[in-house]
Homo-oligomer: A and B are copies of this chain.
Amino acid sequence: MAEATERLQRYLEDELGECRDEDVEQRLDELGTLEAALGPAQVDDELGVLSALANETRYTLARVLVAAGEELCVCELNAVVDVSESGLSHALSALVDAGLATGRKDGRWKKYRATNRAITLVTVLDGSVSDE
């Protein structure tokens, strides 16, 4: 039996008074169930969204697009973040990949808009962090 599992057994003994090998098995199973409640694909998707937002440049862009409530031109977004034109483009395509924005070409200009997913997340984040 692995070292970590032995520790779990001692813990369960402490908590339950006694602890057979079956009890350890059952607890491991319960913990596995908690972890596996979401499919791996969905966890990956959620991690993708979180990673996309966990960066000052991209989070600022997401917040501005959400606050604007309409599509904004790349040349406008250039004014709100402090990176090169190329950096801005990389950031925007990361947001699109994560499903947080959509892009549309309009003549020689390119416009981006926040998705519903972005709106929900930015709104909830603002709320959940301001209240305590």
Contact = CB atoms under 8 A, between A and B. Distances in A.
Interface residues of A, number: 52
A49 B5 CA distance: 31
A120 B109 contact: no
Nearest to A78: B4
How many copies of this chain does the complex contain?
Answer: 2
A120 B43 CA distance: 16
Contact of A121 (B45, B55, B128): B128
Contact of A80 (B34, B51, B63, B78): B34
A109 B8 CA distance: 11
Contacts of A56: 43, 47
A34 B68 contact: yes
